[in-house]
A = this chain, B = another copy of it.
Amino acid sequence: MQATLSGDIVRAGDQARERFYDSSGYGHPVDAGALELAPVEAAHLLYRGDLDAVESPDGAPMDFRAFLASEAVSETDFLVYKDLRDRGFYLSPARDGWSESAAARSAVDDPAVDFVVYPRGSGPWGDEVAYRVAVVSERETVPAANLGGLVLAVVDEESELTYLETDRPEVTGTSDADLPTGVSGELFSDRVLLWDPPAAVYERGFYGQPLDDQQGDVIQLSLLEAASLTRTGVLALDGGTEAVVERGREVEGDRFDRRLAVYESLREDGLVPKTGFKFGADFRAYADVESVDDLGHSELLVRVFERPHAFSPRDLALDVRLAHGVRKTMVFALVDDERETVEWLSVSRLTP
């Protein structure tokens, strides 16, 4: 069968529509029997031996090897396309005007999307989309703004693939403790000590950490906890919120303000954030704390970034792998530079 590269399209001859589109979901039918293929699709047909050659515009025939080496097709796109085909999916390159269903057209409208993947057993003629896939090499950076509602297919330097599902979750919980006000505390260099606090601060609010498990009288608050509690009036402290925030900036710079915005947003939305240090994150967060004896499992690991942020796929892989290993969901809190709004992004491993 004749197939000719022209610009970024491979036009295939007479039986192509029947052989490749109708039976296997390759390409975009244009008129009676003819088919337009994206180069990555043509590369896959060459690889499978379903096409013998693609002619270059000047008439030279290219086999799989020559075609892959040409500028026409990206190696990473090919590796992801092939892998999804190997997994039993039909998929289409995201191109204007190539998609039939409304779901596929809406996926194509997102410029970050490279492939529209249909549910197993379906294809471009169906109404459903299983995954919207963006292909990246491990060495590219990925703008956070592109993520959410799509699957990142990362091709690492050894040509192995990792799929990461990204979403824009609702982050809410039911934790809420009615705390007394005016509790006195003392600001130290990187913490606040409550020398004789009401038990509710720790036991109901899960603020702080007892200095001694046996005695339980002295409570150590982090500067974030202290700043949040002075702002809500629970904690009374020389210099108030401002003194705590100032100390926070001294030890942590701007990062303190970003983390405080996220800390307070989590508390307002009914979650209890605690340090994520042991997981290398900013926070772990509990959604439904009744008391310190009944924390439930901390569902979220939270890392804070300022918007706009671009991820290195390797850093993402690290966070997601760790979160998965400890059965938590990795979420990223993206804070604007005025620290007024927090956007949430979750990323998890996916096996398509």
- A-side residues, CB < 8 A to B, are 65, 68-69, 74-76, 137-139, 154, 156-160, 162, 186, 188-191, 193, 195, 208-209, 211, 220, 222-225, 251-252, 274-275, 277-281, 313-319, 321-322, 325-326
Closest B residue to A251 by CB, please name it: B139
Query: Residue A159 contacts which of B76, B220, B278 (CB distance < 8 angstroms)?
Result: B220
Q: Shortest 10 CB-CB distances between A and B: which pairs?
A: A280-B318, A156-B277, A325-B325, A159-B220, A157-B222, A158-B275, A322-B322, A280-B317, A158-B222, A158-B209
Knowing that A69-B186, A156-B278, A157-B223 touch, tell me 14 more A-B residue pairs with CB under 8 angstroms.
A65-B193, A65-B195, A68-B193, A74-B189, A75-B189, A75-B191, A139-B251, A156-B277, A157-B275, A159-B191, A160-B278, A278-B317, A280-B317, A280-B318
Closest B residue to A324 by CB, please name it: B325
The answer to whether B321 and A190 have CB atoms under 8 Å apart is no
28 A-B pairs with CB atoms under 8 Å apart are A69-B186, A69-B188, A75-B190, A75-B191, A137-B190, A137-B251, A138-B277, A156-B275, A157-B223, A158-B208, A158-B209, A158-B222, A158-B275, A158-B277, A159-B191, A160-B275, A162-B278, A277-B317, A279-B317, A279-B318, A280-B314, A280-B315, A281-B318, A318-B318, A321-B322, A322-B322, A322-B325, A325-B325
The answer to whether A157 and B191 have CB atoms under 8 Å apart is yes
Which residues on the B side are within 8 Å of A75 (C-beta)? Answer: 188-191
Known contacts A69-B188, A159-B220, A209-B159: A278-B195 contact under CB 8 Å: no
Which residues on the B side are within 8 Å of A275 (C-beta)? Answer: 156-158, 160
Which residues on the B side are within 8 Å of A321 (C-beta)? Answer: 278-280, 322
Which residues on the B side are within 8 Å of A316 (C-beta)? Answer: 280
| Docked complex Cα distance between A280 and B303 (Å) | 16
Majority SS of interface residues in chain A?
mixed
**In whole Å, how far is A84's beta carbon from the nearest beta carbon of chain B?**
14
Which residues on the B side are within 8 Å of A156 (C-beta)? Answer: 275, 277-278
| Docked complex Cα distance between A156 and B221 (Å) | 11
**In whole Å, how far is A209's beta carbon from the nearest beta carbon of chain B?**
5
Closest B residue to A276 by CB, please name it: B314
Query: Residue A319 contacts which of B74, B189, B193, B280 (CB distance < 8 angstroms)?
Result: B280
Which residues on the B side are within 8 Å of A189 (C-beta)? Answer: 74-75
**In whole Å, how far is A3's beta carbon from the nearest beta carbon of chain B?**
21
Which residues on the B side are within 8 Å of A326 (C-beta)? Answer: 325
Which residues on the B side are within 8 Å of A325 (C-beta)? Answer: 322, 325-326
**In whole Å, how far is A257's beta carbon from the nearest beta carbon of chain B?**
15
| Docked complex Cα distance between A157 and B190 (Å) | 7
Known contacts A158-B222, A190-B139, A191-B157: A277-B314 contact under CB 8 Å: yes
Which residues on the B side are within 8 Å of A195 (C-beta)? Answer: 65
